[in-house]
Amino acid sequence: MKTIGLIANPNVGKTVIFNALTGARQSVANFPGVTVEKKSGILRHNNEEITVVDLPGIYSLTTSSIDEKITRQFIIEEKPDLIINIIDSSNLDRNLYLTLQLLELGANLLVVLNMGDIAESKGITIDAKFLSNLLEAPVIETIAPKKKGIIELKTAILEHSNKKFTPTNVSWFDAFSSEIGVIKESLKNAGVTSEKWALTWAASALLEGDEVIRDMLEESGVDLKLVDKVIDEATENLPESDAELVYADARYKHIFAISKKVKTKTMDEQWTKTDMMDEVLTHKYFGIPIFLVVFWGVFHFVFSFGDPFIGLVELIFSKLTNLIIDDFGADPDNFFTGLLTDGIIGGVGGILVFLPIIALLFLAIGVLEDTGYLARVAFLMDKIMNRFGLNGQAIVPMLLGFGCNIPAIMSTRTIKSEKERLTSIFVNGFISCGARLPIYVLIAGALYSETEAANIALLMYLIGMIVAITTAWILRKTYFKGETSPFIMELPPYLRPSITASLIKLWQRCKGFLYKAGTLILISAIIIYCLNFFEMVEPIGKVVAILFWWMEIEWELGAALLFGLVAKEVVVGALGVLLQVENTPDNPEDTDLRVALKTRLQEGSSNVDATAFSYMVFSLLYVPCFAALGAVRQETNSWKMTIWVTVMYIVVAYVLAALTMAIGVFIF
């Protein structure tokens, strides 16, 4: 099957086009040798199938970040049949820099001029045919959210992925043609073949001082000693300045020449809707209060719309439990009946009950991301983060942590400063991920009204942010001392979210949750039930409860915290198994875990509210999960740091949970 790659600058509609090409036929893995997410899908058109790989959003093919490295490696080593380069029509000059680098690399290129409606609103028109002639590559115009031009794009992909192509003449490097020519010949003499490498690109990259291409050539068995001599001689004729800047200047001169020929602007700069919205949403004084109101609204939306669905899922599992009891009987000493009802349904069902709320939270955050608002949050937080020793870029992994800490920890690779990157990795575990939400929903839902439960869940997320930022400040003042690096970011225009794209993104996230429920949580529930059936859990739970004597929890809640080290979802699953929710005499349909939990809290605690808040704070702050610790180990390449971080999580969680209990006793 043929393979094509999608490549673009960030925020130009690449994901929308990827979804339009592949629909729901998508899978997520990692690029070989790294933990960067690799999303791929299948394009079906005119009875043909093509694999589409969604490459990371980058601004150039230099190698200052892992995303740039793996994108370039994918093109060189995987040799895709076609590269789709998506361009923001309203920002042609900046986007063409990556396009020229792709042409230098000898890629079979198809250029997509996207966001034509935004360009039109700014009075910008681009002559696509003339641009195609100048680039010597086909150009297709699209407006992805409206699916305009998608059929034409699919047809062009089939046509050009089947065509033999001739690499574009890299005319913008004509001033260095003699130097490049000499290095090309020396590369050929050293055994470098044009079948594997674009020789013009390899020569220019070496001349530019690219260390990664040197490593790649040497790993291929190329002896660069003779080539180095040629490079030294060639660079004597170049201007006395940074070679990378010389090449960048040559590219931009060519870009401006192209832009002048193909772009027409019919109106002066005017205020756009994005400008007007930013005046309010990124306001110096009102921006952060608006952000807090938006997230308050998100949590109330999630709880208001999600609660009826929770009741529906509970009813389904209640009926399922009753069917099993009707068939096999309700003997508490029957291992297999108990395994099905208390173990599997109690454990896995206990966590799946909260899927509607998790799905709605993922949907809401996805919509905020697609509109461009979350990028504004990073901008708003920059000044605050600076006071705590980080820049606004560090807020991005924190926001990603609302979904899952693992990709959030991996995303810290975009932070250039090593000390700031490590600080961001260390504190990300305090950010409340989606797996913790069922714990808040379960406990707050057991004790408080729907509105109060929504406020408490939001409070937990804010506590996680505050603890993370405060810990970052302490680390930056002690262990990771250093100046805060500057933060430069591009704010994308506000866009109307694509319903299709939002639903596909929601399905991808929920699919991961369901997979975990069917594997890790199911296995954990079975193990916990077996241990509990043979009376092995209670002694362990009592030891944990003794360690938390000040919290006044029963052994079931203590054991759940211990099992929650594996994954936070297991806390709820464990409670579902250990509390063994059964039909009550007053209401044979009542299998609500929240009712059982409330009863158990009231039996053990002299101050139920204080105990509940303290338990939620500890659940929020202690070790996120084993997989997150694995990500810390991967990103720091240090077991010592990983152990240190684990101890930090547990100590901070224990101290702040105890403090919460002490304060709660006086408040409630």
Look up the pTM and report it. Answer: 0.78
Could you report the per-residue pLDDT of 55-95, keeping only the tens digit for each? 888 888 875 667 777 888 888 888 899 999 999 999 999 99
* 222 and 300 together in one domain: no
> Which of these three, 265, 281, 304, is where a domain ends?
265
330-344, 433-447, 500-514 — most confident range: 433-447
* 316 and 425 together in one domain: yes
Look at residue 166 and tell me if it is in a domain: no
Look at residue 113 and tell me if it is in a domain: yes
Look at residue 59 and tell me if it is in a domain: yes
Q: Is 182 exposed, middle or buried (0-12, 13-18, 19+ CB in 10 A)?
A: middle
The residue among 589 and 108 whose pLDDT is bigger is 108
Look at residue 273 and tell me if it is in a domain: no
* 402 and 460 together in one domain: yes
Query: For the ranges 240-249, 426-435, 611-620, which has the lowest average pLDDT?
Result: 240-249
- What pLDDT score does 343 carry? 86
* 547 and 645 together in one domain: yes
> Which of these three, 99, 133, 160, is where a domain ends?
160
Task: For residue 436, give the nearest of 567, 551, 527 by alpha carbon.
Answer: 567
Task: For residue 181, give the CATH number of its domain.
Answer: 1.10.287.1770
Beta strand spans in 89-182 (E): 109-114, 124-126, 139-141
* 359 and 438 together in one domain: yes
* 452 and 593 together in one domain: yes
Alpha-helical segments (H) within 329-343: 335-338
Coil/strand/helix, residue 27:
strand
**What's the number of domains the chain is made of?**
3
* 259 and 375 together in one domain: no
* 202 and 336 together in one domain: no
Distance CA 458, CA 373 (A): 19
Query: Any long-range contacts for 453-462 (C-beta under 8 Å, 24+ apart)?
Result: 453/303, 454/299, 454/300, 454/302, 454/303, 454/304, 455/296, 455/299, 456/616, 457/299, 457/302, 457/303, 458/295, 458/296, 458/299, 460/432, 460/436, 460/616, 460/617, 460/620, 461/295, 461/299, 461/402, 461/432
- What pLDDT score does 241 carry? 52
Look at residue 492 and tell me if it is in a domain: no
C-beta of residue 84 within 8 angstroms of C-beta of residue 53 = no
C-beta of residue 247 within 8 angstroms of C-beta of residue 120 = no
Look at residue 283 and tell me if it is in a domain: no
pLDDT beyond 70 at 246: yes
| 631, amino acid identity | A
Q: Give residue 520's domain range.
A: 290-487+499-667
Got the DSSP string for 10-22? TTSSHHHHHHHHH
Query: How many Cβ atoms from other residues are within 10 Å of residue 417's Cβ?
Result: 19
* 257 and 304 together in one domain: no
Mean pLDDT of 327-347: 81
* 130 and 259 together in one domain: no
* 420 and 384 together in one domain: yes
Partnered with residue 262 across adjacent β-strands are none
Pairing of the two strands 124-126 and 48-54: unpaired
Distance CA 615, CA 607 (A): 12
Could you report the per-residue pLDDT of 132-185, keeping only the tens digit for each? 999 999 999 999 888 899 999 999 999 998 877 767 777 777 767 777 777 777
For the chain, helix (H) and strand (E) counts, in that order, are 31, 9
Look at residue 284 and tell me if it is in a domain: no
What length is written for the chain?
668
> Which of these three, 232, 265, 298, is where a domain ends?
265
Could you report the per-residue pLDDT of 402-425, keeping only the tens digit for each? 888 988 888 787 777 788 889 999
Task: For residue 10, give the CATH number of its domain.
Answer: 3.40.50.300
- Please report which confidence band the pLDDT of residue 322 belongs to, taking 50, 70 and 90 as the band edges: confident
Distance CA 488, CA 529 (A): 52
- What pLDDT score does 330 carry? 67
- The percent of residues above 90 in pLDDT, for the chain, comes to 40
* 609 and 539 together in one domain: yes
Could you report the per-residue pLDDT of 177-232, keeping only the tens digit for each? 777 777 777 777 777 766 666 777 787 777 777 777 777 777 777 777 767 777 77
Look at residue 169 and tell me if it is in a domain: no
